[in-house]
């Protein structure tokens, strides 16, 4: 299968990409810039290719979608890149708008996987231009659910990887790092009936408790409208 993993220079994205390459898949990596891209390719020499774009930059993200489309249709895209302890604008751009833009502008893959977080449970479902990390992780679950509704031919799901010891999670994170990326790999590639579903929120390959406001169709559509307003890109 041909799979794009955003933010695969480090952390869970790199680990998922490594597993996918090991399993024989054609993996296109993504890094924020050329220097990080070189490091990504050095860490994963079996990768098929590398794309670069700073996801905090709307125009660079649009250009990334165009570059990705040069590879044809991906079987799966893992929207993994994310930021945590930073300002509202960076959170909004990297965690919410970038996956929205890539989803809207890339050729439609068979499977879409979005990295959410258990912290989405305290996210605010009403739109704000100044979101917290939790808000953006609720946005991404709402996006997955909106896509499951609007694009029935696609499997679109969100994942809570657990609190795991990456650069973001910190060295003391208590959860299992391997389990932190296996669900994304499974959703991207497995023909297990459990993975061939849409609009679900997973933790360790099982449906998990989520913020029910993510099911609200009006809130989903409002989110899509705000993303379109801020990016100039319609789904």
Among the listed residues 32, 62, 111, 139, the single contact to ligand NAP using CB under 6 A: 32
Task: Give me the least distance between CB of 166 and ligand NAP, in Å please.
Answer: 3
- Does residue 56 interact with ligand NAP by CB under 6 A? yes
Ranges of beta strands (E only) in 53-94 are 76-79
Instruction: Give the contacts of 188 (CB within 8 A, at least 6 positions apart).
Output: 1, 3, 16, 20, 75, 76, 78, 111, 113
The rounded distance, in Å, linking the Cα atoms of 155 and 112 is 6
User: Three-state DSSP class for 27?
Assistant: strand
- Does residue 50 interact with ligand NAP by CB under 6 A? no
Nearer to ligand NAP, 110 or 173 (CB): 173
To the query of whether residue 62 is one of the catalytic residues in this protein, the response is: no
In the window 114-133, what residues touch ligand NAP (CB under 6 A)? 115, 117
Q: What is the largest CA-CA distance in the chain?
A: 45
Choose the catalytic residue: 18, 62, 137, 145: 137
Identify the sign of the CA torsion 169, 156, 228, 54.
positive
Among the listed residues 161, 195, 203, 233, the single contact to ligand NAP using CB under 6 A: 161
Closest CA relative to residue 18, chosen from 146, 132, 166, 178: 178
Among the listed residues 167, 209, 229, 234, the single contact to ligand NAP using CB under 6 A: 167
Task: Give me the least distance between CB of 67 and ligand NAP, in Å please.
Answer: 13
Please report, for the chain, how many H helices and E strands are present, in that order.
8, 8
- Does residue 88 interact with ligand NAP by CB under 6 A? no
Q: Segment contacting ligand NAP (CB under 6 A): 41-49, 78-86, 103-111, 200-208?
A: 78-86
Q: Which two tokens stand for residue 110?
A: 């068979």
Catalytic positions are 133, 137
Interface with ligand NAP by CB under 6 A: which residues?
A: 7, 9-13, 32, 36, 54-56, 80-83, 94, 115, 117, 161, 163-164, 166-169, 173
């Amino acid at each position: 299968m041909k799979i794009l993993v955003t933010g695969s220079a480090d952390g869970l994205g790199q680990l998922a990409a490594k597993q996918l390459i090991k399993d024989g898949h054609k993996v296109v990596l993504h890094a924020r810039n050329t220097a990080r891209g070189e490091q990504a390719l050095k860490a994963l020499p079996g990768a098929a290719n590398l794309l670069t774009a700073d996801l905090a930059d709307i125009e660079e993200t649009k250009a990334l979608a165009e570059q990705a489309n040069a590879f044809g249709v991906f079987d799966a895209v893992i929207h993994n890149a994310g930021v945590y302890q930073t300002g509202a604008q960076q959170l909004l751009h990297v965690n919410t708008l970038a996956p929205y833009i890539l989803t809207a502008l890339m050729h439609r893959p068979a499977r879409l996987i979005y990295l959410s977080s258990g912290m989405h449970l305290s996210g605010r479902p009403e739109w704000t231009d100044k979101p917290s990390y939790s808000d953006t992780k609720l946005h991404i679950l709402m996006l997955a659910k909106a896509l499951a509704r609007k694009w029935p031919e696609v499997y679109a799901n969100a994942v809570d990887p657990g609190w795991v010891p990456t650069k973001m999670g910190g060295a003391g994170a208590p959860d299992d790092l391997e389990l932190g990326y296996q669900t994304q790999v499974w959703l991207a590639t497995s023909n297990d009936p459990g993975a061939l579903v849409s609009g679900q929120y997973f933790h360790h390959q099982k449906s998990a408790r989520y913020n029910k406001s993510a099911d609200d169709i009006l809130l989903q559509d409002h989110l899509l409208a705000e993303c379109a307003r801020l990016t100039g890109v319609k789904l």
